[in-house]
Amino acid sequence: RIGRKVGNLVAAMLGLSITLVVVLCVAIFYRLTMSMMQDECIRGTNVLAYELSTYSGDEDKTALLDALKQEMGCEFTIFHGDERAYTTIQQDGRRAVGTRLSGDIAEAVLGQGKSYVGQATILGENHLCSYVPTRDANGQVDGLLFAGISTASATQQIGLAVALSCLAGVILIIAGILVVGAYIKK
């Protein structure tokens, strides 16, 4: 009887420890995923700024933004002032050209000339994003560049990681219980 009680205690401790490890792994994965996606947004605005500095194509920069989106997986926008002049973001099946930037981000980037990296709601959808001010020949802020990733894709990646972690945790708990049970019977 004491062996069975010890076995049950060991099985419970094993289950608890595996559960805690799975929860910790999911939390770490979530933070890493969000950090990597924000870094990707920053890289996106850097690449867009570089491409524009060497751009010699026609005035319409839509093809450039589409190529960058396909290559990097980010949404891109070029703003003139606080208005979207060129964008890959769609609204009702059409490019969201002519729509405006939110007031708080406009104040930070256009008003203060600071870059912004974080979360923003764009036309009703949450994004991880990077906004970088652009300057005219006199050094005055005249617009901004945007690169962002929908948080819906991050949520899908995190959901898959959670599901796989939980499945692995359940398998480990069952295996641990079976091993402890077999040991107790001996």
- Predicted pLDDT of residue 95: 93
Q: Does pLDDT of 18 surpass 80?
A: no
Task: Provide CB contacts within 8 A for 85, sequence distance 6+.
Answer: 78, 79, 97, 143
Rg (CA), the chain: 25
- What's the whole-number mean pLDDT along residues 124-138? 92
Token look-up 């981000």 returns 105
- Predicted pLDDT of residue 185: 67
- The beta-carbon contacts of 89-98 under 8 Å, at least 24 apart in sequence, are 89/122, 89/123, 91/123, 95/62, 96/123
The pTM assigned to this predicted structure is 0.76
* Tokens matching residue 32: 């890493």
- Predicted pLDDT of residue 184: 64
pLDDT in tens, 60-117: 899 999 999 999 989 999 999 999 999 999 988 899 999 999 888 999 999 999 999 9
Q: Greater confidence, 165 or 134?
A: 134
- Predicted pLDDT of residue 23: 82
pLDDT in tens, 19-39: 888 788 878 878 888 888 889
